[in-house]
Structure 1
Amino acid sequence: MNVAKWLLLAFLALPLAELAAFVALAAAWGFVPALALLIGLSLAGGVILRWAGGHHVQRVRVAMRDGFARQDFTAFSADGPGGLTLLGGLLLAIPGLITGAIGLLVLLVPLWHALGGALGRRPPVASPDGVVDLEPEQWRRVDDPRLPGQNRDGAGR
């Protein structure tokens, strides 16, 4: 079976898995708490999408207004904490316990980056000119033997 068939099968099996998860949680906790959790996850996803989606739309508007003069397409990139926040919010907004759990796991990555920055352990971020500043213990010098002006011991001529 190719990947498309597996994805279609998983997409069709997801509602059954969500229903089974809800029935199991309702049997363990009761119907009202399980339903409250399901509604709470969906509302949290909507709030996250409204907050993060608004910022993403604003970045796209600014990029389009500037006419892409800088050739900076970060407003459209789906990687990084912004894209993960949107994906996590979307997964939370879809009613279901399995998608909600996956959405919470996806949201842990941007949360981890935000907490790392608050605790002083911010990951290195590239500046607009592409330079990444690292602490001295985070890098080591490796000379490229193909570059002119370097001999075998790494010193310039």
Structure 2
Amino acid sequence: MPALGFLVYLVVEIAAFTAVVAWLGAIPAILLLIVSSAAGMLLLGSQWRRVGEQFRRASRGEITPGAAVADGALVGLGSLLMFVPGLVTSVVGLLMLLPPTRALFRPVLAALAARRVAKIAAAAPYRPTVIDADIVDGVVVSEWYTDERPKSGTTLELRPAATEQRNQGEPA
């Protein structure tokens, strides 16, 4: 199967490059290949920073994590396609790196991921979890107590001795 995929890749790239050479000429076709690769390489750094910022925003709860993960996957795939030689892979990689066109790829990625997850879930055997444990009845306490010690060293009240003597000497 991988050999068939590689063969399809070669045929598509050769056919596309031949069509561009017939349409524009050899030198413009080579320049188009170089320019598309250079533009993609320039976009890589800024788009990875943007994806990192989306992950930070998702961790703070400002955006949904699904959008950040989808953009991360698309930027990763676009980066990979930029390193694969060929005009078609460079153009598709460039489209995955550009934010406006990346929004067009998101639903396709979500559909592929949903299909893959459904296939994995269907193949996994169901194993119910049985927990054998003792049940302890209890009361939920909603107040919190601390083990703080009293501020003074003693809890007894001491009266000065002079006050007691004055009280004894005075007639009642």
Higher helix share: 2
TM-score between the two structures when normalised by the length of structure 1 = 0.45
